[in-house]
Structure 1
Amino acid sequence: MAAAVVLLVAPAAVACGDDSGGGGDSAPPEPSAEKSSEESPSEAPSDDASAPADPAAAEKEVKKNFEKFFDPAVPVKEKEDVLENGAKMRGVLDGFSGDERGKQVSADVNKVVFGSATEADVTYALTLKGATALPDASGTSVLQDGTWKVSVKTLCALVKLSGNESPGPGC
């Protein structure tokens, strides 16, 4: 089942070429609480805060947006809205959504742990046709433009699982 999930992300990786010409990393990135882009969230409270002002509401939004991002019934434009730097990642999203197996994958968030007021570690189960393929997948969510979004680092790590050394622009 996990192999099927890896095969799922291969079309997304193929859909995007690497415009940077660089990227000699041989190991896939590990999702973590690090910021996944150079862009700063627009509502960045002080770095001293270890959680958002309303952790319960933030956790609810993280779960909702993570599950929305992986919901096969959600249009690509709506997924773009809940992905960090979504417009810049459109090529990867198009490849992800254009694959038949992509229409069979979803996620159930199990745990959200805030590392700061603008970042959270997310543990989720990735399912294929309703069967759990990756029970303890980990990713990150970042607060960007006032919305908790799936981090680019999370998407890029999944694409890297396909074995593609150059997952595409933005990764």
Structure 2
Amino acid sequence: MVSQMVLGRHSRGTRPRTAAWAAAAMLVLAPAAAACGDDDDAPEAPARSPALGTSPPATPERDAPADPAAARAEVEKNWKTFFDPGTPVNDKAKVLEDGDRMQPLLTAFAKDPNAKRSSATVTDVKFTSATGADVTYDLLVGGQPALPDSKGSAVLQDEVWKVSVKTLCALVQLSGNASAPGC
């Protein structure tokens, strides 16, 4: 489920559910979604999995980057950059997987007043391969957790650890706009 993937465990005390929806809604504007991408985008090919009953041998280069500490630092820095309201759209695109393709959506986010109050803090990074990681983060609005313990992913693209489009699209779907092109 997308909401479980994005939200992780989100119920802490009696925090109103509306805060989470407001945080997600601020990430997507209907006009932005309409302007983003094109309908001719081909779906990504599914990842190949090993034959049933077999698994690939575990090797350091398969399970983590060559320098996990440096990779983790880059993931944290780039997530902070991506979710920082003061970061220019062009710089956000540089730390988002396929950022050039998603730039119209990023431009719309920059115009949203709620986005100017939002940020994210990475709380955990677990590498799933040399080019992928599961990321746990808190989405903050006005410095307060709106979506704590959110789950996302980072990918190594063009030798840069980036916020995955999958993470952005999960937030788009959470906002209720599942038809956003590019997602």
Task: Report deviation, 1:48.
Answer: 5.8
Unaligned runs of 5+ in 2: 1-18, 46-58
Task: Report deviation, 1:95.
Answer: 1.5
- Given that 1:37 and 1:152 are in contact with CA atoms closer than 8 Å, whether structure 2 keeps it comes out as no
Q: Which of the residues 19, 24, 28 maps onto 1:10?
A: 28
SS at match of 2:154: strand
Question: What TM-score, normalized to structure 2?
Answer: 0.76
- How many matched pairs? 150
Q: Which of the residues 43, 48, 55 maps onto 2:68?
A: 55
Rounded Cα–Cα distance in structure 2 between residues aligned with 1:108 and 1:9:
16
Matched, 1:116 2:129: yes
Q: Name the larger-Rg structure.
A: 2
SS at match of 2:171: helix
Task: Report deviation, 1:6.
Answer: 2.2
Moved >6 Å (runs of 4+): none
Task: Report deviation, 1:4.
Answer: 1.5
1:64 matched residue in structure 2: 77
Rounded Cα–Cα distance in structure 2 between residues aligned with 1:150 and 1:101:
20
1:103 matched residue in structure 2: 116
Rounded Cα–Cα distance in structure 1 between residues aligned with 2:110 and 2:175:
15
Unaligned runs of 5+ in 1: 23-35, 39-45
2:142 matched residue in structure 1: 129
Question: What TM-score, normalized to structure 1?
Answer: 0.81
SS at match of 1:9: coil
**Aligned-residue CA RMSD (Å):** 2.3
Letter in structure 1 aligned against 2:102: M
Task: Report deviation, 1:9.
Answer: 2.1
- After superposition, the Cα gap between the structure-2 partners of 1:37 and 1:59, relative to the gap in structure 1 and judged at 3 Å, is farther
- After superposition, the Cα gap between the structure-2 partners of 1:166 and 1:99, relative to the gap in structure 1 and judged at 3 Å, is same
Rounded Cα–Cα distance in structure 1 between residues aligned with 2:95 and 2:44:
15
Larger helix percent: 2
Task: Report deviation, 1:99.
Answer: 0.3
